Amino acid sequence: MTNPISILLTTSVFFLLTYSPTSAQRFAHPGINQTSADLGTMKKLVQDGKEPYKSAFDRLKAATDTPFAIRPHTHVLRGPYGRPNIGGDDLSRSANMAYNYALLWYITNDKTYANKAIDVLNTWAPVLWHFDYNDARLLAAWTGHLLCNAAEILRYTNSGAKKKDVDALCNMMMTV
Protein backbone atom coordinates (compact mmCIF):
# COMPACT_ATOMS: atom_id res chain seq x y z
CA MET A 1 0.00 0.00 0.00
CA THR A 2 1.35 3.43 -0.97
CA ASN A 3 1.61 6.18 1.62
CA PRO A 4 -0.92 8.98 0.76
CA ILE A 5 1.45 11.66 2.07
CA SER A 6 4.19 10.40 -0.23
CA ILE A 7 1.84 10.61 -3.22
CA LEU A 8 0.76 14.11 -2.26
CA LEU A 9 4.37 15.29 -1.88
CA THR A 10 5.44 13.73 -5.16
CA THR A 11 2.49 15.28 -6.99
CA SER A 12 3.14 18.69 -5.41
CA VAL A 13 6.84 18.65 -6.32
CA PHE A 14 5.99 17.57 -9.89
CA PHE A 15 3.48 20.41 -10.22
CA LEU A 16 5.91 23.00 -8.87
CA LEU A 17 8.70 21.84 -11.18
CA THR A 18 6.54 21.73 -14.30
CA TYR A 19 4.48 24.87 -13.70
CA SER A 20 5.40 27.61 -16.14
CA PRO A 21 4.92 31.19 -14.94
CA THR A 22 4.80 32.29 -18.58
CA SER A 23 1.21 31.07 -18.69
CA ALA A 24 0.11 33.77 -16.24
CA GLN A 25 -1.60 36.84 -17.60
CA ARG A 26 0.08 40.20 -17.28
CA PHE A 27 -1.75 42.75 -15.13
CA ALA A 28 -3.01 45.67 -17.20
CA HIS A 29 -4.07 49.00 -15.71
CA PRO A 30 -6.77 49.83 -14.90
CA GLY A 31 -7.61 46.37 -13.82
CA ILE A 32 -8.66 45.82 -10.22
CA ASN A 33 -12.45 45.64 -10.62
CA GLN A 34 -12.64 46.48 -14.29
CA THR A 35 -10.20 46.28 -17.16
CA SER A 36 -10.08 48.93 -19.85
CA ALA A 37 -12.18 46.61 -21.99
CA ASP A 38 -14.76 46.25 -19.19
CA LEU A 39 -14.96 50.01 -18.75
CA GLY A 40 -15.26 50.50 -22.50
CA THR A 41 -18.09 47.98 -22.71
CA MET A 42 -19.86 49.62 -19.78
CA LYS A 43 -19.53 53.04 -21.42
CA LYS A 44 -20.82 51.81 -24.79
CA LEU A 45 -23.80 50.01 -23.26
CA VAL A 46 -24.79 53.14 -21.34
CA GLN A 47 -24.26 55.47 -24.32
CA ASP A 48 -26.31 53.12 -26.53
CA GLY A 49 -29.12 53.20 -23.95
CA LYS A 50 -29.07 49.41 -23.45
CA GLU A 51 -31.00 48.09 -20.48
CA PRO A 52 -30.46 47.40 -17.65
CA TYR A 53 -27.18 49.34 -17.99
CA LYS A 54 -28.73 52.72 -18.77
CA SER A 55 -31.13 52.52 -15.81
CA ALA A 56 -28.31 51.45 -13.50
CA PHE A 57 -26.21 54.37 -14.74
CA ASP A 58 -29.10 56.78 -14.16
CA ARG A 59 -29.46 55.51 -10.58
CA LEU A 60 -25.70 55.83 -10.02
CA LYS A 61 -25.72 59.36 -11.38
CA ALA A 62 -28.75 60.37 -9.28
CA ALA A 63 -27.17 58.94 -6.13
CA THR A 64 -23.84 60.61 -6.86
CA ASP A 65 -25.19 64.02 -7.92
CA THR A 66 -26.08 64.89 -4.35
CA PRO A 67 -24.41 67.24 -1.89
CA PHE A 68 -21.42 65.51 -0.35
CA ALA A 69 -19.00 66.83 2.26
CA ILE A 70 -15.67 65.07 2.70
CA ARG A 71 -14.86 64.68 6.42
CA PRO A 72 -11.43 63.09 6.79
CA HIS A 73 -10.18 61.71 10.09
CA THR A 74 -6.65 61.03 11.24
CA HIS A 75 -7.66 58.12 13.46
CA VAL A 76 -10.59 55.96 12.35
CA LEU A 77 -12.09 53.75 15.04
CA ARG A 78 -14.66 51.06 14.40
CA GLY A 79 -15.65 48.60 17.06
CA PRO A 80 -17.79 45.48 17.00
CA TYR A 81 -21.17 46.05 15.37
CA GLY A 82 -19.98 49.53 14.44
CA ARG A 83 -19.71 50.78 18.02
CA PRO A 84 -17.77 52.94 18.57
CA ASN A 85 -17.61 54.39 15.11
CA ILE A 86 -15.44 57.46 14.78
CA GLY A 87 -14.77 58.32 11.17
CA GLY A 88 -15.78 54.94 9.79
CA ASP A 89 -18.97 56.12 8.15
CA ASP A 90 -17.22 59.20 6.75
CA LEU A 91 -14.49 57.03 5.25
CA SER A 92 -17.03 54.56 3.83
CA ARG A 93 -19.08 57.34 2.22
CA SER A 94 -15.93 58.96 0.84
CA ALA A 95 -14.62 55.70 -0.63
CA ASN A 96 -17.99 54.96 -2.25
CA MET A 97 -18.26 58.46 -3.65
CA ALA A 98 -14.68 58.44 -5.00
CA TYR A 99 -15.39 55.20 -6.86
CA ASN A 100 -18.78 56.43 -8.11
CA TYR A 101 -17.25 59.71 -9.29
CA ALA A 102 -14.47 57.82 -11.07
CA LEU A 103 -17.00 55.60 -12.88
CA LEU A 104 -19.10 58.61 -13.85
CA TRP A 105 -15.96 60.38 -15.12
CA TYR A 106 -15.09 57.43 -17.30
CA ILE A 107 -18.58 56.97 -18.73
CA THR A 108 -19.40 60.67 -19.30
CA ASN A 109 -15.94 62.21 -19.90
CA ASP A 110 -17.13 65.02 -17.63
CA LYS A 111 -14.01 66.33 -15.83
CA THR A 112 -16.22 67.55 -12.99
CA TYR A 113 -16.55 63.95 -11.83
CA ALA A 114 -12.82 63.29 -12.21
CA ASN A 115 -12.06 66.39 -10.16
CA LYS A 116 -14.51 65.34 -7.44
CA ALA A 117 -12.97 61.87 -7.24
CA ILE A 118 -9.47 63.35 -7.11
CA ASP A 119 -10.62 65.75 -4.40
CA VAL A 120 -11.92 62.90 -2.23
CA LEU A 121 -8.67 60.96 -2.57
CA ASN A 122 -6.52 64.05 -2.02
CA THR A 123 -8.47 65.03 1.09
CA TRP A 124 -8.02 61.65 2.80
CA ALA A 125 -4.47 60.80 1.66
CA PRO A 126 -2.52 63.25 3.86
CA VAL A 127 -4.88 62.96 6.84
CA LEU A 128 -5.58 59.27 7.53
CA TRP A 129 -2.86 57.71 9.66
CA HIS A 130 -4.45 54.97 11.69
CA PHE A 131 -7.25 52.42 12.02
CA ASP A 132 -8.08 50.93 15.38
CA TYR A 133 -10.50 48.71 17.25
CA ASN A 134 -12.28 45.47 16.52
CA ASP A 135 -13.55 46.02 12.95
CA ALA A 136 -10.64 48.20 11.83
CA ARG A 137 -9.19 45.67 9.39
CA LEU A 138 -12.58 44.98 7.88
CA LEU A 139 -13.19 48.70 7.37
CA ALA A 140 -9.69 49.19 5.91
CA ALA A 141 -10.30 46.35 3.45
CA TRP A 142 -13.67 47.41 2.12
CA THR A 143 -12.81 51.12 1.89
CA GLY A 144 -9.27 50.50 0.62
CA HIS A 145 -10.65 48.39 -2.20
CA LEU A 146 -12.90 51.20 -3.38
CA LEU A 147 -10.20 53.85 -3.01
CA CYS A 148 -7.77 51.74 -5.05
CA ASN A 149 -10.35 51.16 -7.78
CA ALA A 150 -11.14 54.86 -8.02
CA ALA A 151 -7.44 55.68 -8.17
CA GLU A 152 -6.83 53.06 -10.88
CA ILE A 153 -9.53 54.52 -13.10
CA LEU A 154 -8.29 58.07 -12.55
CA ARG A 155 -4.62 57.30 -12.98
CA TYR A 156 -4.95 55.49 -16.29
CA THR A 157 -7.65 57.54 -18.05
CA ASN A 158 -6.37 61.09 -18.57
CA SER A 159 -8.38 62.39 -15.61
CA GLY A 160 -5.87 65.02 -14.62
CA ALA A 161 -4.59 63.17 -11.55
CA LYS A 162 -1.12 64.48 -10.75
CA LYS A 163 1.86 62.29 -9.87
CA LYS A 164 2.21 63.93 -6.43
CA ASP A 165 -1.43 63.05 -5.69
CA VAL A 166 -0.94 59.46 -6.82
CA ASP A 167 2.20 59.23 -4.67
CA ALA A 168 0.36 60.62 -1.62
CA LEU A 169 -2.46 58.09 -1.99
CA CYS A 170 0.02 55.24 -2.53
CA ASN A 171 1.85 56.31 0.61
CA MET A 172 -1.39 56.29 2.61
CA MET A 173 -2.37 52.88 1.26
CA MET A 174 1.04 51.39 2.06
CA THR A 175 1.58 52.93 5.50
CA VAL A 176 -1.79 53.10 7.23
**Mind listing the pLDDT tens digit for each residue in 15-53?**
444 444 555 556 566 667 788 899 999 999 999 999 999
pLDDT > 70 fraction of the chain, expressed in percent and rounded: 82
Q: Is the Cα dihedral 132, 136, 139, 142 positive or negative?
A: positive
Put simply, whether the predicted model's pTM sits higher than 0.95 gets the answer no
Q: Is the pLDDT of residue 10 over 60?
A: no
pLDDT given for residue 17 in this prediction = 47
Q: Is the pLDDT of residue 110 over 80?
A: yes
What is the average per-residue pLDDT within 116-141? 94
Q: Is the pLDDT of residue 112 over 80?
A: yes
Nearest one of 77, 98, 93 to 148, comparing CA atoms: 98
pLDDT given for residue 7 in this prediction = 52
pLDDT > 90 fraction of the chain, expressed in percent and rounded: 72
What is the average per-residue pLDDT within 105-115? 97
Q: Is the pLDDT of residue 65 over 80?
A: yes
pLDDT given for residue 24 in this prediction = 55
Q: Are 107 and 61 in contact (CB under 8 A)?
A: no
Q: Where are the domains of the chain?
A: 32-175
**Mind listing the pLDDT tens digit for each residue in 82-92?**
899 999 999 99
Residues in Cβ contact with 76 at an 8 Å cutoff, skipping those fewer than 6 apart: 86, 87, 88, 91, 128, 130, 131, 132, 136, 139
pLDDT given for residue 134 in this prediction = 87
pLDDT given for residue 4 in this prediction = 54
Residue 43: phi, psi to the nearest 5? -60, -45
Q: Are 140 and 134 in contact (CB under 8 A)?
A: no
What's the pLDDT band for 14 if we cut at 50, 70, 90? Answer: very low
What's the pLDDT band for 137 if we cut at 50, 70, 90? Answer: confident
Nearest one of 143, 142, 90, 147 to 122, comparing CA atoms: 147
